[in-house]
Amino acid sequence: MTAGYTQRQVASLLGLHDSVPLSLWERGIKLPNTVNLIKLSLIYRTYPNELYNDVFQSFREELKAKELEQLKRV
């Protein structure tokens, strides 16, 4: 996803000293903290869950399974 910015420009917009964190986020090695996730969504004009759709779906499935397990116990 691109808004016409380089990694360095996005890093600067986020107040980061270099673009290494962005590279790690893009490759899925690490995830941004909540503040940077919100800022990224604003920079790229999208919703936070759309930036990391696979992670979002994985969390959704995990939580759904846990909710079902809790309901079975009741």
pLDDT of residue 57: 95
pLDDT of residue 2: 56
Domain annotation for the chain: domains and CATH numbers: 7-73 (1.10.260.40)
pLDDT of residue 74: 80
Written as tens digits, the pLDDT of the chain (74 aa) is 556 899 999 999 999 999 999 999 999 999 999 999 999 999 999 999 999 999 999 999 999 999 999 999 88
Whether 35 and 42 have beta carbons less than 8 Å apart is answered as no
DSSP characters over 13-69: HHT-SSSHHHHHHHTTSS---HHHHHHHHHHTTS-HHHHTHHHHHHHHHHHHHHHHH
pLDDT of residue 1: 59
